[in-house]
Amino acid sequence: MKTHSRQRKRQVSRPTRGYQDHLFDSELEAAISIVLKDRVTPLGGHHHGQVELTIKYLGKDGATRWYVPDWQVVGHPKVLIEAKARVDARSRNHLKAAREQGYQIGIVFPNQRASELPLFPNAELSMGQWLDAHGIRYVTCPEQSLQLLNNLIFTDPSSEEAI
């Protein structure tokens, strides 16, 4: 009897919605872009063309890793905005590396429930609690993105608006 082995197709993220000549990986990203308009620059990734900012760091295994954030705030090169429905281990490593390199990061969750979910099954900390513990600000809907951006700019030490 002959057996056929099928290789599982690799799942590839596809852009789902366009806005201002950019394709975004999710409707959450597109919604945030609509709220923030010209205040942020989409930073690339494989859907947006040339990558404009890559944060390079060493992983726990000593291998070089790269992180491309979703947006950079115009006029504030060290302030980043990230859309997240889930803060998994890979995302946590990216966020910690960016913070260690002096970046201010803001996370936008799609809803309140997302921030209250555990980091992983049976974890005592929620995603929101982990972000709080690491000094990363977040909001729980795209409509609050502008408020998050203003809070990040005010706390950006390189900002002229910071007092």
- The C-alpha atoms of residue 147 and residue 122 are separated, in whole angstroms, by 32
- The C-alpha atoms of residue 157 and residue 4 are separated, in whole angstroms, by 60
pLDDT in tens, 16-34: 555 555 677 788 888 998 9
More confident residue, 121 or 6: 121
Looking at the DSSP bridge assignments, the partners of residue 107 are 82, 138
Residue with tokens 């394709």: 23
Q: Work out the pLDDT band at 154, boundaries 50, 70, 90.
A: confident
Q: Work out the pLDDT band at 82, boundaries 50, 70, 90.
A: very high
Looking at the predicted structure, is the pLDDT value of residue 12 above 50?
no
- Whether the model clears a pTM of 0.85, i.e. scores above it, the answer is no
- DSSP, collapsed to helix, strand or coil, labels residue 153 as helix
* Domains assigned to the chain: 18-155 (3.40.91)
More confident residue, 71 or 23: 71
Amino acid 163: pLDDT? 34
Q: Name the DSSP class of 136.
A: -
Task: Please report, in angstroms and rounded to a whole number, the separation of the first and last CA atoms in the chain.
Answer: 76
- The C-alpha atoms of residue 136 and residue 104 are separated, in whole angstroms, by 7
Amino acid 27: pLDDT? 86
Phi, psi of 130 (to 5 degrees): -65, -45
Looking at the predicted structure, is the pLDDT value of residue 99 above 70?
yes
